[in-house]
Amino acid sequence: MKEAMMDWDEAQRRPVEAFKQDLTALSIDELQARITALEEEIVRVRTELEVKRAHEQAASAIFKS
């Protein structure tokens, strides 16, 4: 039986549903802390995105020359 090959990007995907938690039971302080944590995560993700784009551009430049 042949196993289906999984694309690397597919293997690395994480469910976004983790961010869809019910917020009604959280206090104002907990909500503020969550916002702070999410903002920090956004910065971290954007930084990694920039690194990956730079690598992609560098690789493209090598193969185009």
For 25-44, what is each residue's pLDDT tens digit? 999 999 999 999 999 999 99
Tokens of 60: 């493209």
Q: How far apart are CA 43 and CA 12, in angstroms?
A: 19
Query: pTM (2 decimals)?
Result: 0.63
* Predicted local confidence at residue 41, as pLDDT: 94
- DSSP string for residues in 38-64: HHHHHHHHHHHHHHHHHHHHHHHHHHH
